[in-house]
């Protein structure tokens, strides 16, 4: 049985906690896209962790965690993350790395930073983890597959060939230090030694696991609105954030994904630049940011303050639809308990017309939010474990959102801890 857990919004929906909960009941957890550019926050008995590359699931003895072929695989980052877990007392997790995963090269990180610098005020607000240069190279067919680390002759030839090309840009466009191919080759040898014991044909491994009836969790990063096809292009990430891509990025048949749990946040937040129709500013935003998440809404990877906004039903319904959600987990609802009234964006006004359908970016730029105001419940809801025990106005808010999303909300998260979850029947 394969399940995907993905985000409907701009990321930071609280997928980490839900994934951690579900990981406990899974045999295998797979990262299928992205790299170390986004963070999941997980709080458990070992402490509080921000995972960037490792799948959530590394805290359990019974699970196997896979870095799938779709990932931008930063090898030293994996080692660092594993070392830091072990240093905190977490038992060494069981990790497998796809032999078809591609390697995030040191120069990808450099190019990411150089390009942001070159763009100046028009930059993407990249996390500078090298993700965009990595995927560009993958599809330009000059990326390095993990399997290539084990074929010295081909590796050497390719390192020289790629360095020659990269150095033209480094010299003439960015005016930065050049790549020394011998040095790079040495680094790749170190990478090979770091990763060798984890590498296998993970697609075959998953195929056999599915046949044996194992429970598999595909763990998405970011959310629908950051998808390169369906998000707020070009202010998106460079690999697909959709559950459908889980099949490709893990190497399994698409029809095996039976359940698509889509995480939706009870209000909006976003990092980086890009369209954000229900964004709020000033004191109103500061207060929500301060109260939001667990100790404030600041990026898990960058520490940057997140942009804040009210719940956007237009964007979220679209986000849920593009994921193919079979059920929704609504998160961080407890944060809204301080508000007398809660605006919900139910439409976009574009050129004098109101629409409920999420448009392309050029139209999105012109969209103004149309709000419906819901009454707040003015109560602390942390600690409540049964849906019926929630204040009526809080249930009304949930059910209003559920109607807007057109997909059942089966879980309501009312606190950062794993136990702070309310289940509802479909
Ligand atoms: P992800 O990128 O989707 O995994 O999101 P994060 O893991 O960065 O989650 C965002 C923040 O919200 C983290 O600090 C979580 O601990 C916190 N969080 C998750 N669920 C809840 C919740 O229901 N209530 C509160 N108050 N915080 C939550």
Q: Is 40 a catalytic residue?
A: yes
Task: Kindly report the CATH number assigned to the domain that includes residue 233.
Answer: 3.40.440.10
Identify the pLDDT of residue 9: 96
Identify the pLDDT of residue 161: 97
119-141 per-position pLDDT tens digit: 887 777 777 889 999 999 999 99
Question: How far apart are the C-alpha atoms of 91 and 147, rounded to whole Å?
Answer: 28
Do residues 391 and 415 both lie within one domain? yes
Whether residue 53 contacts residue 78, with contact meaning beta carbons closer than 8 Å, is answered with yes
Question: How far apart are the C-alpha atoms of 125 and 114, rounded to whole Å?
Answer: 12
Do residues 118 and 74 both lie within one domain? no
Do residues 78 and 225 both lie within one domain? yes
Identify the pLDDT of residue 165: 96
Do residues 315 and 370 both lie within one domain? yes
Identify the pLDDT of residue 301: 64
Q: Is 62 a catalytic residue?
A: no
Domain containing 239 equals: 2-101+198-261
Through-space distance between the first and last CA atoms of the chain, rounded to whole angstroms: 19
- Report the candidate in 205, 164, 195 with the shortest Cα–Cα distance to residue 181: 164
Task: Kindly report the CATH number assigned to the domain that includes residue 293.
Answer: 3.90.170.10
Identify the pLDDT of residue 47: 85
Do residues 249 and 275 both lie within one domain? no
Q: Whose structure tokens read 């946040």?
A: 265
Question: How far apart are the C-alpha atoms of 11 and 318, rounded to whole Å?
Answer: 14
Q: From the CB of 110, is ligand 1 less than 6 Å away?
A: no
Identify the pLDDT of residue 267: 98
Do residues 315 and 369 both lie within one domain? yes
Indicate the number of domains in the chain: 3
Q: Compute the distance from residue 189 Cα to the ligand 1 centre, in Å.
A: 38
Q: Which of 165, 195, 225 is the last residue of a domain?
A: 195
E-strand stretches of 148-301: 199-200, 216-219, 257-265, 268-270, 279-280
DSSP state, residue 179? P
Q: 392-405 vs 313-323: helix axis angle to the nearest 10?
A: 60
Which residue has the CA at smallest separation from atom 12 of ligand 1? 293
Question: How far apart are the C-alpha atoms of 182 and 86, rounded to whole Å?
Answer: 33
- Report the candidate in 216, 217, 227, 426 with the shortest Cα–Cα distance to residue 327: 426
What DSSP element (H or E) covers 348?
Answer: strand 341-350
Q: Which of 195, 215, 230 is the last residue of a domain?
A: 195
Q: From the CB of 11, is ligand 1 less than 6 Å away?
A: yes
Q: From the CB of 7, is ligand 1 less than 6 Å away?
A: yes
Identify the pLDDT of residue 273: 84
322-360 per-position pLDDT tens digit: 999 999 999 999 999 999 999 999 999 999 999 999 999
Task: Kindly report the CATH number assigned to the domain that includes residue 179.
Answer: 1.10.300.10
Do residues 56 and 177 both lie within one domain? no
Do residues 326 and 345 both lie within one domain? yes
Identify the pLDDT of residue 68: 98
Do residues 65 and 132 both lie within one domain? no
Q: From the CB of 293, is ligand 1 less than 6 Å away?
A: yes
Q: Which of 231, 261, 291 is the last residue of a domain?
A: 261
Report CA dihedral (277, 282, 288, 294) to the nearest 10 degrees. 100
Region at 92 (left for phi over 0; alpha for psi -120 to 50; beta for the rest): beta
Residues in the chain with pLDDT values less than 70: 38, 300-302, 426
Q: Compute the distance from residue 39 Cα to the ligand 1 centre, in Å.
A: 10
Do residues 222 and 278 both lie within one domain? no
Do residues 321 and 416 both lie within one domain? yes
E-strand stretches of 204-306: 216-219, 257-265, 268-270, 279-280
What DSSP element (H or E) covers 245?
Answer: helix 243-250
Which residue has the CA at smallest separation from atom 17 of ligand 1? 293
Do residues 8 and 131 both lie within one domain? no
């Amino acid at each position: 049985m394969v399940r995907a857990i993905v985000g409907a919004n701009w990321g930071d929906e609280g997928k980490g906690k839900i994934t951690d909960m579900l990981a406990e009941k899974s045999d295998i957890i797979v990262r299928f896209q992205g790299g170390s550019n986004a963070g999941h926050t997980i709080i458990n008995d070992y402490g509080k962790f921000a995972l960037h590359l490792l799948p959530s699931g590394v805290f359990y003895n019974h699970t196997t965690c896979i870095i799938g072929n779709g990932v931008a695989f930063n090898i030293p980052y994996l080692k660092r993350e594993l070392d830091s877990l072990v240093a905190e007392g977490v038992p060494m997790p069981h990790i497998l790395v796809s032999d078809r995963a591609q390697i995030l090269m040191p120069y990808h990180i450099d190019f990411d930073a150089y390009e942001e610098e070159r763009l100046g005020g028009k930059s993407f607000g990249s996390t500078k983890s090298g993700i965009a240069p990595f995927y560009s190279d993958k599809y330009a067919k000059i990326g390095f597959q993990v399997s290539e680390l084990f074929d010295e002759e081909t590796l050497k030839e390719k390192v020289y060939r790629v360095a020659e090309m990269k150095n033209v840009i480094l010299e003439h466009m960015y005016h930065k230090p050049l790549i020394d191919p011998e040095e790079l080759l040495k680094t790749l040898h170190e990478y090979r030694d770091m990763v060798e014991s984890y590498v296998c044909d993970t697609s075959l491994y998953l195929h056999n696991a599915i046949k044996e009836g194992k429970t598999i969790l595909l763990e998405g990063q970011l959310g629908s609105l950051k998808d390169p096809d369906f998000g707020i292009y070009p202010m998106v990430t460079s690999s697909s954030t959709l559950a459908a891509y889980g099949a490709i990025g893990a190497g399994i048949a698409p029809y095996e994904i039976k359940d698509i749990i889509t995480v939706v946040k009870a209000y909006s937040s976003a990092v980086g630049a890009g369209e954000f129709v229900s964004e709020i500013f000033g004191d109103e935003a500061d207060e929500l940011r301060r109260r939001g998440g667990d100790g404030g809404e600041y990026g898990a990877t960058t520490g940057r303050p997140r942009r804040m906004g009210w719940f956007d039903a237009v964007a979220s319904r679209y986000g849920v639809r593009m994921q193919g959600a079979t059920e929704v987990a609504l998160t961080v609802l407890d944060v809204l308990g301080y508000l007398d009234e809660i605006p919900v964006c139910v439409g976009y006004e574009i050129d004098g017309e109101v629409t409920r359908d999420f448009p392309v970016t050029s139209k999105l730029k012109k969209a103004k939010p149309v709000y419906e105001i819901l009454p707040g419940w003015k109560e602390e809801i942390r600690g409540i474990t049964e849906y019926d025990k929630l204040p009526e106005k809080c249930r009304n808010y949930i059910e209003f959102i559920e109607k807007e999303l057109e997909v059942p909300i089966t879980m309501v998260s009312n606190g950062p801890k794993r136990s702070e979850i309310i289940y509802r029947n479909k």
